[in-house]
Structure 1
Amino acid sequence: MFARSILFAAGLSLAVSSAFASPARWVFEWPNTDFEQTSIEDWTEILSGGPPKDGIPAIDDPVMVPIKEGAQIGEREPVITVEIEGELPRAYPIRYLTWHEIVNDQVGDIPVAVTFCPLCNSGITFDRRVGDRVLSFGVSGKLRNSDMVMYDRETESWWQQAIGTGIVGEMNGVELTTLPTWMESWRQFAERNPDGLVMAEPRFGRPYGRNPYVNYDSSARPFLYQGENPPHGIPPLVRVIRVGDRAWPMTRLREAGEVTEAGVTLTWTEGQASALDGRDIAKSKEVGTVRVKDASGKDLAHDVMFAFAYHAFWPNGEWMLGDG
């Protein structure tokens, strides 16, 4: 029932937003944002996702605890792993990010924003530094091509999560540095990092561990998406591994187990549940864990996102289909 309510609210929001989306409307809601600086050409692309600004509350300075205190997390549940040299590895469970979408943290000397957009399955970690400034990010409540529009609290500029780039305001055109982090299961993280840390459960009273987007990754069409479907007959909600402007379909990697081409090696291993399938994330269908490394064996920044989102933001990107 909860998931159906979200769908109804999302559909209503689409109808309302499509009718009124314009710079003037957003100026009224965002008086401190400089809308004269923007890369948006068609303002009807900006839609309300339902919740208002900060209606989905980002987490600041999360409490990190030893992995033994993560007993409530299912073994197959996905986490975003952040491993920075010289620091204890950290796991940010998707059971929390589903409800908060952004975590502003500090790992050693690096201020990070760990982000997850459920509608695109996009989990990316950014360095929050821009020049000599450190930004902190919140959830705007806006979507573009079904992807979360973040905002920074310092300038109230808008940022596109999937591409890590400012799209409205003082930070228009600025690109954040993406860190080489990845999604894996809680068990995989804990076995590899027995002395690691995990983000403690936030005190917001959400039903953590439940998926409010039941059966989403089996849908024929993404929520609030008006763009083209991917080419080559690829279903819009198939996962792809994006490295730069290239994308490898998960179906191909899962069958092969390992693919080496274009200077990168991608591997797939069993053990990770989908965050966007059943109501209970821990019991959801298998999607597997992907690792991406360069020719020297170092982890590469990448994203495991839905095919429609890749096509929307990289319309001229290269599809790595392995067909010669």
Structure 2
Amino acid sequence: MRILVTLIAITLGLWVHEVRADPADWASEFPKTDFGETSVQQWSEILSGGPGRDGIPALSDPAFIKVADETRLGAREPVLTVELPGTKPRAYPLRYLTWHEIVNDRVGGVPIAVTFCPLCNSGMVFDRRVAGQTLSFGVTGKLRNSDMVMYDHQTESWWQQAIGEGIVGQHTGVQLKQLPAWMESWAEFAARNPQGLVMNQPKARRSYGQNPYTGYDSRNRPYPFFTGENPPHGVPALARVLRVGDRAWPVSRLAKAGEIREAGLTIRWAAGQASALDTVQIAKGRDVGTIRVKDAKGRDVPHDLLFAFAFHAFWPDGKWMMGN
């Protein structure tokens, strides 16, 4: 196990330190962070994932190209799609998000943070405006329940990606507004949006298109950054679940049904999207399908597709939509 984690760290250009959070040690790294303000009950909940501050470099103001000009992506490769009213749809390929985890962008005047935590498979898009101020985000290098802890450059408050909430510093307890976004295949995005835009390859030197977490979503347990409970109802720890609010639908149930109408939502599953956390080449990952979530008026609903262990960790009293 330790050898596997070390190999992943080396692939990412990092070294894993099994060091638990200690504000006294991190004050020099985050001099503006107010560690006296926190919603974290015990600092031992937070672990160092290996890199320090910005060891995984977030991106800002990325370049985009037209759909017709994109030649790198495989048809089934996953992208995180943002389609805000009155703007050209944008696709953010997971081949880039896997290595950078955060993209600070602006779409139609709306400052957004496009985020992806590979260890939780959590891909979410947030409005970066808080109390009249536009924040920009970076990666702390810390993990809580295996989920990325972000920080904002303005106050150096720490934010939990999976719940979009400030957990340390000035913005403790503040909730970021989650925007509708979803994972789908490049082919699906391109067919629906021939005039759309796709994020261009960053200039950083990374093995874009390769998955540094080979076989991760077939494991029985997450990497040892996570020490919490297994999910209930016999749901495998690394099974994907659809989260809307505090409800979780196992994707295996959605794939079997194809379409489910529950809790005021219409949820559809269709084959055709590769897992970003399966094979070495992301484009060749096994088919995990695409999910769309609409409300009663046909509008896209903010949601997430994360691993079951992460849902149970952050929503221990959440409702499991098992269909029984």
Shorter-chain TM-score range: over 0.9
In 2, the alpha carbon distance for the partners of 1:51 and 1:28 equals: 15
Within a 5 Å distance, the mapping from 1:1-324 to structure 2 comes to 5-6=7-8, 13=16, 16-18=18-20, 21-223=21-223, 224-323=225-324
Aligned-pair CA distance for 1:87: 0.5
For residues 203 and 210 of structure 2, the distance between their equivalents in structure 1, rounded to whole angstroms, comes to 16
Distance, in Å, in 2 between the alignment partners of 1:316 and 1:206 is 39
Does the residue aligned with 1:309 lie in a helix, a strand or coil?
helix
For residue 40 of structure 1, give the secondary structure of its aligned residue in structure 2.
coil
Contact 2:246 2:315 in 1 (8 A): yes
Percent identity between the two aligned chains: 62
In structure 2, stretches of 5+ residues that fail to align are none
- In the alignment, the residues of structure 1 paired with residue 10 and residue 195 of structure 2 have an alpha-carbon distance, to the nearest angstrom, of 44
Tell me, in whole angstroms, the C-alpha distance in 1 between the residues paired with 2:202 and 2:103: 11
Displacement of 1:4 in angstroms is 5.8
Offset of 1:9 from its aligned partner? 9.6
Cα distance in 2 for residues equivalent to 1:102 and 1:273: 21
Q: Distance in 1 between matches of 2:22 and 2:41?
A: 11
Amino acid at match of 1:38: T
Offset at 1:255?
0.3
2:181 corresponds to which letter in structure 1?
Answer: T
- Give the C-alpha shift of residue 7 in structure 1: 6.0
Taking the aligned partners of 1:116 and 1:320, their CA distance within structure 2 comes to 24
- CA drift of 1:2 comes to 8.8
Matches of 1:168 and 1:68, distance apart in 2? 43
Alignment CA distance shift 1:202-1:131 (3 Å): same
In structure 2, distance between residues paired with 1:151 and 1:188:
33
Cα contact 2:184–2:273 (8 A) shared by 1: yes
Output the CA distance in 2 between the equivalents of 1:187 and 1:295.
27
Checking the alignment, whether the CA contact within 8 Å between 2:77 and 2:283 is kept in structure 1 is: yes
- Alpha-carbon separation, structure 1, partners of 2:162 and 2:82: 18
Residue 131 of structure 1, CA deviation = 1.8
Query: What's the offset of the Cα at 1:13?
Result: 3.7
Which segment is superposed worse, 156-165 or 221-230? Answer: 221-230
Give the Cα–Cα distance (whole angstroms) in 1 for the partners of residues 163 and 109 of structure 2.
24
Q: 1:97-124 CA deviation, whole Å, 9 max, x = no partner?
A: 0000000000011000000000000000
Structure 1: runs of 5+ lacking an equivalent: none
CA drift at 1:299? 0.4
Cα shift at 1:28: 3.8
Aligned-pair CA distance for 1:171: 0.6
SS in 2 for 1:174: coil
- The CA distance in 2 between the partners of 1:30 and 1:176, in whole Å, is 21
CA contact (8 A) 2:57 2:138 kept: yes
Give me the whole-angstrom Cα distance separating, in 2, the residues matched to 1:45 and 1:319.
24
Distance in 1, matches of 2:100 and 2:11, equals: 18
Task: Tell me how far apart the structure 2 counterparts of residues 67 and 140 of structure 1 sit (CA, whole Å).
Answer: 33
Output the CA distance in 2 between the equivalents of 1:31 and 1:217: 36
Scaled by the length of structure 1, the TM-score of the pair is: 0.96
* Contact preservation (8 Å) 2:9, 2:16: no
Asked if 1 retains the 8 angstrom alpha-carbon contact of 2:128 and 2:134, the reply is yes
3-state SS of paired residue (2:236): coil
Letter in 2 for 1:152: D
The amino acid that maps onto 1:133 is Q
Amino acid aligned to 2:267: L
Q: Provide the C-alpha distance between the structure 2 equivalents of 1:90 and 1:22, rounded to a whole number of angstroms.
A: 39
Superposed CA RMSD: 1.8
Deviations 1:6-50 (CA, angstroms, capped at 9, x unpaired): 26899x846x314xx323223243221000110011111111111
Query: What displacement does 1:52 show?
Result: 1.1
- Number of equivalent positions: 320
